Amino acid sequence: MTTTLRLVLRARSLDDTHGVAAAVAGLSREGDVIVLAGEMGSGKTAFAQGFGRALGVTEPITSPTFTLVHTYDAGGVTLHHADLYRLEHLSEVADLALAELAEFHGVVLVEWGDVVASTLGDHLAVELAQVTGDVAGRTLTVAAAGSSWARRWEALGAATQSWAA
């Protein structure tokens, strides 16, 4: 029986979302793919901004909806930020060579990547959802796919403990 590694986190503000992203970035390494999923406006780009800042990206991080991939120098690693929202066919995703970008050139964040996550190999999936009601914010459900993040799971739990739902 396979155990699914999963964390449910609660971000009550934009700063919290950036904080969770920074905690993940602090454990990321060259070759990682992080899949960001969620409805429009759920915080995928906000997560990418916090992640990039934590890696050392100094330029503004914007959604690459129309260019498909933005690449940022983060000092010791390159951050590739992809957005698959506009793609209609799996072959278009293959043309982006996301796994190769991660393997040879850094860390890849993939917005709207949940549709193709099974083709990306080992990755960390982060699903963001808006929360409404008495306490607004967002829920982040984090899951490891493959052994790479499973080996860092305990450290990830410790790094994100203050946002545990």
What's the Cα-to-Cα distance from 69 to each of 13, 101, 153, rounded to whole Å? 27, 11, 28
Note whether residue 60 is domain-resident: yes
152 vs 158: CA distance, rounded Å: 10
Q: Is the pLDDT of residue 94 over 70?
A: no
Q: What's the order of all strands across the beta sheet hosting 33-37? A: 6-11, 137-145, 123-131, 33-37, 107-111, 78-83, 69-73
Of residues 103 and 84, more confidently modeled: 84
Note whether residue 1 is domain-resident: no
pLDDT band at 71 (very low <50, low <70, confident <90, very high): confident
Note whether residue 50 is domain-resident: yes
pLDDT (average), residues 114-139: 83
CATH code for position 144: 3.40.50.300
Pairing between strand 107-111 and 33-37?
parallel
pLDDT for the residue 122: 86
Note whether residue 39 is domain-resident: yes
The residue segments making up the domain with residue 72 are: 6-163
The H-assigned helical ranges of the chain are: 14-27, 44-55, 90-96, 98-105, 147-150, 153-159
**Residue in the structure block whose two tokens are 């066919």:** 89
78 vs 44: CA distance, rounded Å: 19
pLDDT digits (tens, 9 = 90+) for 20-57: 999 999 999 988 999 999 998 899 999 999 999 999 99
Note whether residue 13 is domain-resident: yes
Note whether residue 125 is domain-resident: yes
Of residues 102 and 143, more confidently modeled: 143
pLDDT digits (tens, 9 = 90+) for 121-133: 888 999 999 987 6
pLDDT band at 90 (very low <50, low <70, confident <90, very high): low
Query: Residue 107: how many CA atoms within 13 Å on its side-chain side?
Result: 26
71 vs 79: CA distance, rounded Å: 6
pLDDT digits (tens, 9 = 90+) for 151-160: 999 999 999 9
pLDDT band at 2 (very low <50, low <70, confident <90, very high): very low
Q: How many domains does the chain have?
A: 1
82 vs 108: CA distance, rounded Å: 7
